[in-house]
Amino acid sequence: MSQRVNAFAQSPELFKKFVEFGMLLQSGTIESSILHLVEIRASQMNGCGFCLDMHVKQAKIHGERELRLHHVAIWRESTLFSPRERAALAWTEVLTHLPVQGVPDEVYERVRSELSEKEISDLSFAIMSINGWNRLNVGFRSVPGSADKAYGLDKAKLD
């Protein structure tokens, strides 16, 4: 597989602003461990190999346990995630694949029982961001692992 277009080279100002947006998310109310899980789950759902590869490596570098990384795809059955993480993953799934009838009340109530309104808002922006990155990288066939050295992801030691 080869990359179709380097959107970042073609639209550098938009790329810069989107990166800045992502950096703001890092200083929000949602802990980085949950942001990593959200990025991984949305990327799995969207079939974005580039983002999945990148976010698994980032999570590993930041101390995430490998077994939990393997369990993100089966988070409902896994005993490795807290109620707060489960709520964030449920919210990620429903905002990534919006149901025709909208977000069910039970999903909202689940996330509302674990996160404040500000946290839900910050989490929703994080989900919006990763879904945007996924669409760029899937559409332009960004090659998984191709930016490892540039982003320092080779430190994950997940060859």
What pLDDT, on the 0 to 100 scale, is given for residue 147? 86
Find the angle CA(60)-CA(79)-CA(124) to the nearest 5 degrees.
Answer: 65
What pLDDT, on the 0 to 100 scale, is given for residue 113? 98
What pLDDT, on the 0 to 100 scale, is given for residue 67? 97
What pLDDT, on the 0 to 100 scale, is given for residue 159? 67
What pLDDT, on the 0 to 100 scale, is given for residue 138? 96
What pLDDT, on the 0 to 100 scale, is given for residue 154? 85
What pLDDT, on the 0 to 100 scale, is given for residue 158? 80
Show me where the domains of the chain are located: 30-156
Please name the residues in contact with 50: beta carbons below 8 A apart, sequence gap of 6 or more: 137, 142, 143, 144, 146, 147
Residues of the chain with confidence (pLDDT) below 70 = 159
* pTM score, whole prediction: 0.93
Is 4:141 a contact under the CB 8 Å cutoff? yes
CATH among 1.20.1290.10, 1.10.390.10, 3.40.718.10, 3.30.70.20 for 30-156: 1.20.1290.10
